[in-house]
Structures are given as C-alpha cells and as structure tokens.
Amino acid sequence: MSKRNPYKGPDANTLRAKRDGYPARSVYKLEEIDRRVRLFRPGMSVLDLGASPGSWSLYALEKVGKGGKLLAIDLKPLETALPPSGTFLLGDARETAALSTYAPYDVVLSDMAPNTSGNRMADQARSFELFMFALGVAAKLTKEGGSFVGKIFMGEDFTLARTELKKHFATEKIVRPEGTRSVSYEIFLVGQDRRKTEPVKP
Ligand SMILES: C[S@@+](CC[C@H](N)C(=O)[O-])C[C@H]1O[C@@H](n2cnc3c(N)ncnc32)[C@H](O)[C@@H]1O
C-alpha cells in the first residue's frame, strides 16, 4: 500500500493562505507566534531572512504599517509583490553586506531552511548553521529590547542553540505552531528583550 506524501499537494492551510492573499501556508506559523508573544507594532523595522515566497514579509509589513520598514532576503525570488515599505534582496544572506540596511531592527525573523536531503543528521546540521548565522545577525543588528524568531530542525545541537540565544535575549520561548505539518521536526526559538549590548572595549 502506498503511503501518502504529507508534503505533496495543497492542504487546508495552503488553500486558506491563497484565499487570504498569501503565497504560502507558513504565514499561519508566524501569525501564531505573533499571537503568543506579540512581536510587531506599527512603525517597527524588520529583517526577514529566508523570505521566499513572501508570506512572512507580507504579514510583518501589514503589522508594522506604512511607517514601518522591512528588508527581506532569499536565494529565490519572492512570489508576491511587497508594499512600498518592503525591500527584497535576491541572494545568500550569509554573503550580503546589505543586511544592515534598516538596522537597528526591532525584529529579526529567520525561516531559513536548507533543501532537505533525506539524511536527517545532515539536514539538522545545516539547519543549525543557518539558525546560528541568523542569531549572530540578530545579536549584531537588533535594538535593545528587540526580538528574534529563528527556525531550527530539532537535533542534538538544539541545546547549544538555546544557550546561545539566552546570551543575547532575556526571554526565551520554544514554539511549535499548530500549522506545522505533523511529520516536520522544525521548531521556532523566540528570543525577546534583547539584552543591553556592552560597549566595545578599545
Ligand atoms: C520555509 S522557506 C521560507 C518561507 C517564508 N518565511 C514565507 O513565509 O514565505 C525557507 C527559505 O529559506 C531560504 N534560504 C535558505 N538558505 C538561505 C540563505 N543562505 N540565504 C537566503 N535564503 C535562504 C530558501 O531559499 C527558502 O526560500
């Protein structure tokens, strides 16, 4: 008997996202995280790492309004147009110097994920690297009191990721949104109340 591929074909959330004007179901993950921890306010400045097809960017831009700003980056083009307060960069987030365009940020988001290979350990390791890169960016470019949301595949490095997050953010939450597919081992680490940064010593 053939098993149904849970990633194949549109599910109820995918169809709902299209109806609501978002290119992907992932919007409901950010919506749930936002409902639980209150990430956005009008006028905020946001960085969205791994933004394609564009659902998180659209959602964040709605929340920060016309007075806010968002910089989005991805290896792949967006599948939606952003309102004028959003800017998209095509490229590898790890290789662009332009990430600080609207810094310091109130919120840094990373939904970055590697192309999965089927080798769970290898995929976890690559997801950990992307998470740690995003956290490094957030540590450098987030305002005091600001927030970070980062996706990571659950694995043996998860504790290390949490420890690093807590060095920079006073409040930590682990969120597995309801919209996450049951077979997925992704999880979101949320850091809030960015700690005061020490002045650089001469
Ligand atoms: C799950 S998707 C993001 C979905 C997006 N948050 C949305 O709501 O539309 C993950 C994205 O991370 C991107 N990505 C992975 N590694 C990246 C990198 N080094 N730089 C930029 N984007 C990257 C992938 O191209 C992919 O589009």
The closest residue, in CA terms, to atom 27 on ligand 1 is: 52
HSE-CB at 108 with a 13 A cutoff on CA atoms is 36
Candidates 22, 48, 49, 74: which one to mutate for ligand 1, based on the most atoms within 8 Å of Cβ? 74
Q: Is 179 in the pocket of ligand 1 (CB under 6 A)?
A: no
Give 158-180 pLDDT, tens digit per residue: 999 999 999 999 999 999 988 78
pLDDT on residue 5: 57
Give the separation between CA 75 and CA 126, rounded to whole angstroms. Answer: 15
Domain spans of the chain, in order of start: 26-194
Give 41-76 pLDDT, tens digit per residue: 999 999 999 999 999 999 999 999 999 999 999 999
- Interval between CA 143 and ligand 1 midpoint (Å): 23
* Mean pLDDT in residue range 109-127: 95
Catalytic residue status for 173: no
Classify domain 26-194 at the CATH topology level. Rossmann fold (3.40.50)
Task: Give me 165's structure tokens.
Answer: 């997050």
pLDDT-above-90 percentage for the chain: 85
* Mean pLDDT in residue range 6-10: 62
